[in-house]
Structure 1
């Protein structure tokens, strides 16, 4: 679990790349500058960990490319102690970015092996989300709602109604919507019944899995 000066140098370069691509949120950039992404990947990918690319993490899932993580995080407008629901814990890297930004993170993962591995890794790294659970992301975590914001890290064919219901008024839901490729979508809850929708172009994610049981 080494994090070296070389790794730090590569992270600084990655942050420069993200800034050039338009990421301006200083909290997002600082989190990415300080988190050893190579520890969230299989060691065979270590030399590539700070390239702006997605990599497989097993169970048919990927760790999102840093730009995507930064872009979604920036859209959330995270403030300290914000209560954030993350759908798709995955490698735990996005979880860690939100945690380092001062958020109280509640995260759901659908793949059991990944859930176990990532829970163990986060404990080892001293990252303490408020709640990690194995379950169906389409349903969210109603027992812990409402949330200041919700982030979905897999491609959803539609915006799940339960997630909209679990958002505070004034809250932000960031979700990639679509089948083959996705449109990054931001919903802002204006009132109990009214949502404002913004779209931010095409991205590619692994599909959001539903619990068929």
Structure 2
């Protein structure tokens, strides 16, 4: 296996070594083999987007808690596990010309990965403090083509569409029709759909006015706020 470009051969950079093992031991075994995606994970440093109190967990195969606003907003706020973000990127096949919409900015890590792959990213975050955190993280890491908007992706009007790619960085009960309508021809929407204990990542593709979906893999993720739930749902 080749070493990442930002890691010395003797492993003297502990973060680079941890990043290398994250990619080789967590992400590759989850069928993430796209060289472009793996290169992104090596060059966009996850630890730069992790709250300081959790910095030691940056390379672990788990979700990392994020600060929220009030009690409702704090529910389930997290960075998704690295292998989940990586598999989402691979399956959505981001192109350099794509205009991307993300729902659920969090700390800005997924927005940074998307921005390094696409022409433009608009990312929506419902929690003001998280929107501010993401803006600062993206500024500090020299990501200039991602715009963070403090907005509710489930309820607010989203200007700037149609989009080539829409990413939901959290789970919903079903694919949101309002967001599917924002896809341009050839566009892809990726979302983790369903209810615990089992959800599936679903990819919807719009082609000549028709939407076709696939469900390539299972996972679970915390809910995005305010998207519709089936009757009888309870946390």
Common topology (TM > 0.5): yes
Distance 1:55 1:169, change over 3 A: same
Q: Give the 3-state SS of the residue equivalent to 2:186 in structure 1.
A: strand
Q: Distance in 2 between matches of 1:24 and 1:133?
A: 32
* Counterpart among 203, 206, 209 of residue 219 in structure 2: 203
Q: Tell me the equivalent position of 1:72.
A: 88
Q: Tell me the equivalent position of 1:15.
A: 23
Question: 2:22 matched to 1:5?
Answer: no
Q: Distance in 2 between matches of 1:136 and 1:127?
A: 23
Give 1:48 shift. Answer: 2.3
Q: Tell me the equivalent position of 1:40.
A: 49
Q: Tell me the equivalent position of 1:126.
A: 142
Give 1:166 shift. Answer: 0.6
Q: Distance in 2 between matches of 1:182 and 1:144?
A: 30
**What are the residue-to-residue correspondences of 1:130-209 with 2, within 5 Å?**
130-139=146-155, 142-180=158-196, 181-192=198-209, 194-209=210-225
- Give the TM-score of the pair, scaled to structure 1: 0.90
- Is there any run of 5+ residues in structure 2 with no aligned partner, and where? 1-6, 69-73, 228-235
- Give the TM-score of the pair, scaled to structure 2: 0.82
What is the count of residue pairs matched by the alignment? Answer: 208
- Is there any run of 5+ residues in structure 1 with no aligned partner, and where? none
Deviates more, 1:61-70 or 1:200-209: 200-209
Q: Distance in 2 between matches of 1:126 and 1:116?
A: 15
* Counterpart among 49, 55, 59 of residue 50 in structure 1: 59
Give 1:141 shift. Answer: 5.8
Q: Distance in 1 between matches of 2:53 and 2:158?
A: 38
Give 1:160 shift. Answer: 1.4
Q: Tell me the equivalent position of 1:29.
A: 38
Q: Distance in 1 between matches of 2:191 and 2:98?
A: 18
Q: Which protein shows a greater Rg?
A: 2
1:75-115: CA deviation from partner (whole Å, max 9, x where unpaired): 11011131111111011110111112244111011111111
Give 1:47 shift. Answer: 2.3
